[in-house]
Amino acid sequence: MAVSAPTRALHRALPLALGIWALGAWHLNFICDDAFISYRYAKHLAAGEGLVFNLGAQPPVEGYTNFLWVVYLSLFEPGGWLHTRILDTPTIARLTSALCGLLLLLSVAGHLRRREELTDGARVAGLLFLASFPPMALWSTGGLATMPAALFIFLTYRALFGARSTAPEANPTASAARWLPGLAAGLWGTLAVLTRADGFLWILGLILLALLSPQRRRSAFRRKLLVCALLTGGTLAAHFIWRHGFYGDWLPNTARVKTGLSALRLERGAKYVLAYLCAVPSAGLALGFGLYALRQGRQAKAPDQGAALPSAAARSQRPLAAQALLCFSGTAAYALWVGGDFMPLGRFLFPAVPFLALALAAGLARAQASPGAWGRRGAALGAGLAILLSGLAFADIHVLPHALRTAVDFRWNEPHYQTELEMHAGMDERARDWVVQGKALALYTRPDETMILSAVGAQGYHSNLFLYDNYGLVTRAVALRDAPLKRSSPGHDKRVPSDFFFDRKPDYLGSLLSHPWLPETDGLPTAPGQSWHEHPWGHRVDIERYPLYPEDGFEEGLELRLLRFKR
């Protein structure tokens, strides 16, 4: 069978797109401390302790938002069916994220190829845009469920809107097969709602979008939509019932920490979205092309072979552009409502990234189909500019002024403005330090001891101490506090000082890595001009110092300092 021109064009562009994406993912590869919270739940599940963070805590706390991701990773922990000594769970999580990134790129390529209203150039440009988009590379690593969730959401969209069946709807020999499209959409929707606690919002949005689609008049489409809604809705209801039965709450503990409507959160959420568009202005350009595709106007006939529409009567790009823009708008509205997220390059906006590629492709096809040569030239210029802007963002080079970027800074805890890539580098460095610290804690503490910590991820995973969390992700008492909001970074709204936990008689106030030649109190929190011994907490603890040796895998010249409460 001869390969069609659109297929040939994408086949030629696909290796380049894969290479760009792989290079970007390697460049931005990082470790995320929050991911270790899920790893700890997975470790306890594999060990037969259940989905708990602190062993023995009653009632247990749901300090994760990615149920299916935790269950999947438990297979690779000791006691899990797929446990191996070759790869540890953090590595497997990052490799799985990368695999999901690859599948998402291929899925978008397949969807672009099937959209008859797109030109060859628009398809290729949309694919290359996605491959070169910095958030696509960054969230292919890290170990969170961000990429798997985005993949399942897009596959649900593709199952609902991508297939165009020309078979007769009343075919008695195909009574079973006619349910398959709905089952496929329901499967991907089910995976989405189980992978992310908020995944149901995107699936609900896609169902509402489908109800507004002209395809709703077709009985086959309505059947597909009904099956998808029943499967995902039933799964969601079952999961809510299980959550309440096991954790005693209808919502994850993290939702109580990070959500809630207030003017302060709305301000921060708005700045979060604007900061994203400033950091990767190619996203704004893609949205602009999507809006252009909504324009009314006469489309010219295919001007030449290079820009030819694949059908004699060109389809309008407006439905595709409208779907893409609504998906991005809904995602942005959610990010605004929750007040954003402190992590780099718009983690809460990531489910909309594939739809940015669709919006760009729709706008480029609309421009190529416009009368005259200027439309085709504008499309070529726009495609090149979008990819160039993404490349500059990879290099941390910004076309928008520093004053504008600082004006929309939403990380209010930070002492000074950081670019998204500076934030990414800092997160990676801190997480790697906490991995070392957690392994050191495992040598000199016992799992039945308790410690107050702000960064509970890697330190908690490796040490298995019973932890009291200053930010409340895994400590219900903090999350349930009805305290007034302050100007803080996303996710830090309910942070409590360590003395909040003093009445629980913890064993340790905390720990730090240091060097034997530095003063004993070096690095401990003090006010300006104040020594640690003058600090209100200084008289409560003894400082214990433990050497760390290279034969145990530590850098030479390190020691662990434990702040043990006096009894």
Helix (H, G, I), strand (E, B) or coil at 288: helix
Q: Please give the pLDDT value at position 511.
A: 96
- pLDDT score of 313: 34
| Closest by CA position to 68, among listed 251, 196, 156 | 196
Residue type, 315: R
Six-digit token pair at 477? 């008492």
C-alpha 389, offset from chain centre:
22
Nearest by Cα to 20 from 425, 424, 380, 391: 391
- pLDDT, tens digit (0-9, with 9 covering 90-100), for 173-197: 456 677 888 899 999 999 999 999 9
pLDDT at 99: 98
Cβ neighbours of residue 297 under 8 Å, at least 6 residues apart? Answer: 370
Other C-beta atoms lying within 10 Å of the C-beta of residue 93: 28
pLDDT for the residue 295: 83
Lowest mean pLDDT among 22-26, 77-81, 172-176, 236-240: 172-176
Q: What is the pLDDT of residue 311?
A: 41
Phi, psi (5° rounding) for residue 467? -115, 140
Confidence of residue 376 (pLDDT cuts 50, 70, 90): confident
Average pLDDT over residues 453-474: 96
Average pLDDT along the chain: 91
Residues 6+ apart with CB under 8 A from 552: 443
Q: What's this model's pTM, rounded to 2 decimal places?
A: 0.93
Q: Are 184 and 162 in contact (CB under 8 A)?
A: no
In sequence order, what are the beta bridge partners of 466? 450
Bridge partner list, 269: none
* Model pLDDT for residues 377-427, shown as the tens digit of each residue: 889 999 999 999 999 999 999 999 999 999 999 999 888 999 999 999 999
Residue 452, strand partner residues? 468
**∠410-413-418 over CA atoms, to 5°?**
60
Task: Give start and end residues of each alpha helix (H) in 445-567.
Answer: 458-463, 476-479
How much is the pLDDT for 260?
A: 72
Average pLDDT over residues 324-332: 98
